[in-house]
Amino acid sequence: MPSEPIFDVVQLAHIEMYTPDMAGSLRYFTELLGMQISARDSDSVYLRAYEDFYHHTLKLTKRDLAGLGHCSWRASSPQALERRAKAIEVSGQGKGWIEGDLGHGRAYQFETPGGHRMEVFYEVEYWRCASEQKTRLLNRPQKRPLHGVPVRRIDHINLMSPNPDADAQFMTDVLGFRERELVMPDDAPVRVGSWLAVSNLAHDIAFVMDTSGMRGRLHHICYWYGSPQHAYDAGEMFQEQGIPIEAGPGKHGISQAFFMYVIEPGGNRVELFADCGYLVFDPTFKTVKWKMSEVPGRADAWVGQAFPWSWWNEGTPRSNRKEPVMVPAPALAEAAE
């Protein structure tokens, strides 16, 4: 019999993101996206969306350069946490245990092959809202905010990697992720993109090729709306409030989700999902494989325009390259016709 699937890591719990403009980033996440501040310490502010159940899902930390601090996964049980910590240690990517942080207990830290810091933990602190924020909708941790176009919950993270093959392998073998979709050049069996999940979502994490020579870059974080209309409401808000929209709204081919990409004042890319795309319940789901020539105007935007060059080549920290390097989208778009 083949080896069984691993169900030890089950949830993207939170993301730490760096911002060189804390005031601007905070205004963006609180006034425009309607997120709540749950705590502050010297360098960081902890935030959550109104349907996030835990203490926080976003930790903003002041730094000179935008980018990823770390991302954090929740294990399904104390035993599951121990098993994964051991497996990571064996893999050689382990960094060791920390005592925890605001909102969660001890965590095992590690670094992916592409240079991204992550951790796994089990003990978590639930958010307890103030009494005037209690809602009669008992399965919601607080009332829907009355300002901005409020996001509902954290959805996923997308990282830039010099070697998505190595990262996909590590996440599946060591942590139990399932690879849902991938992109390869038409003529080479090397991933330029990989979408992986520990839940029924089309993905909880993705890795896309970074040709800049940099390691550990962030492509984007994603928060979730339930309805496409909210992407349009948010789009109008961003246009009027001076937040650049990089792509969309549109409907992805990969993941089938309704998307929009914007750049928050700290310089990080934030995606807003506005439906739930397709969900995968099949435990033996076969990875969907796209050729690069099938990507523009189809895998990237199934309905809507192909992505701009910046989407394919930039992340945070910025590389500030100007020339088209990896995916000259218009050229590919023509080729794909």
Q: Is 331 in the site for its own copies (CB under 8 A)?
A: no
Distance in Å, CB of 149 to its own copies, minimum: 9
Do residues 56 and 38 make contact, with C-beta atoms less than 8 angstroms apart? yes
Distance spanning both ends of the chain, measured CA to CA: 45
Q: Is 120 in the site for its own copies (CB under 8 A)?
A: no
Query: Using the rule CB under 8 A, which residue among 37, 214, 288, 326 binds its own copies?
Result: 288
Amino acid 194 reads: S
Q: Is 136 in the site for its own copies (CB under 8 A)?
A: yes
Give Dmax over CA atoms of the chain in angstroms: 59
Q: Is 97 in the site for its own copies (CB under 8 A)?
A: no
Q: Which stretch binds its own copies (CB under 8 A): 84-92, 110-118, 214-222, 279-287?
A: 279-287
CA neighbor of 163 nearest in space, from 194, 186, 129, 199 = 194
Q: Is 39 in the site for its own copies (CB under 8 A)?
A: no
| Minimum CB distance to its own copies smaller for 75 or for 118 | 75
Query: Using the rule CB under 8 A, which residue among 106, 140, 215, 321 binds its own copies?
Result: 140
Distance in Å, CB of 213 to its own copies, minimum: 27
Amino acid 197 reads: A
Contacting its own copies within 170-189 (CB under 8 A) = 180-181
Q: Is 78 in the site for its own copies (CB under 8 A)?
A: yes
Q: Is 279 in the site for its own copies (CB under 8 A)?
A: yes
CB atoms near residue 143 (< 10 Å)? 15
Cα 110 from Cα 117, distance rounded (Å): 6
Q: Is 309 in the site for its own copies (CB under 8 A)?
A: no
Helix axes 78-91, 164-175, angle to 10 degrees: 140
| Minimum CB distance to its own copies smaller for 18 or for 224 | 224
User: Omega of the bond prior to 249 within 30 degrees of 0, cis?
Assistant: yes
Cα 95 from Cα 97, distance rounded (Å): 7
Q: Is 261 in the site for its own copies (CB under 8 A)?
A: no
By the 10 Å C-beta count (0-12 exposed, 13-18 middle, 19+ buried), 116 is classed as: buried
Query: Using the rule CB under 8 A, which residue among 12, 107, 151, 327 binds its own copies?
Result: 12
Q: Is 79 in the site for its own copies (CB under 8 A)?
A: yes
Tokens of 68: 């990823």
Q: Which stretch binds its own copies (CB under 8 A): 16-24, 64-72, 209-217, 286-294?
A: 286-294
C-alpha count within 13 angstroms, C-beta hemisphere, residue 246: 22
Distance in Å, CB of 188 to its own copies, minimum: 19
